[in-house]
Copies of this chain bind each other. A is one copy, B any other.
């Protein structure tokens, strides 16, 4: 396969994967484009490569920066801003995990804590089932939370790096 064709396929596949995981397809595509670019790109270049509007490119790049996946760069003598993506996959995985933890896990744990404190008749099956289900999900969520903390705190990539070797 030729590089040009492979690039397009990669961008398409990454976009599809993103959308299946609740990440805007275009955002995932811009990320893919930048990941395979040796050089930082300008907004113009991103717009041209993916045929998207200026507004879309601008907002998407900002979101990627918020996710910690892309950084703005300035080149001496150039007035334009350049965008460069982190390329180490473990760092990318870590950033995504960090963000989703902050945006989704922490809020749901807060809600589950409230819901686990619901009061009702201990003889009522509806109450018992609710309480058990919510309590169990809450425990799982807290465990995922703790596991992520450990993973993310570790400088070394124990989860994807070393544990995997055990199973090889």
- Chain B residues lying within 8 Å of A89, measured Cβ to Cβ, are 133, 136-137, 139-140
A7 in contact with B130 (CB, 8 Å): yes
B87 in contact with A133 (CB, 8 Å): yes
A3 in contact with B126 (CB, 8 Å): yes
Query: Is A55 interfacial (CB 8 A cutoff)?
Result: no
Per the CB 8 Å criterion, the residue count for chain A at the interface is 59
- Chain B residues lying within 8 Å of A22, measured Cβ to Cβ, are 19-22
- Chain B residues lying within 8 Å of A144, measured Cβ to Cβ, are 160
A selection of 19 A-B contacts at a CB cut-off of 8 Å is A1-B118, A2-B118, A2-B120, A3-B120, A3-B126, A3-B130, A9-B115, A10-B130, A10-B134, A17-B104, A22-B22, A36-B134, A88-B136, A89-B136, A143-B160, A143-B164, A147-B163, A147-B167, A150-B167
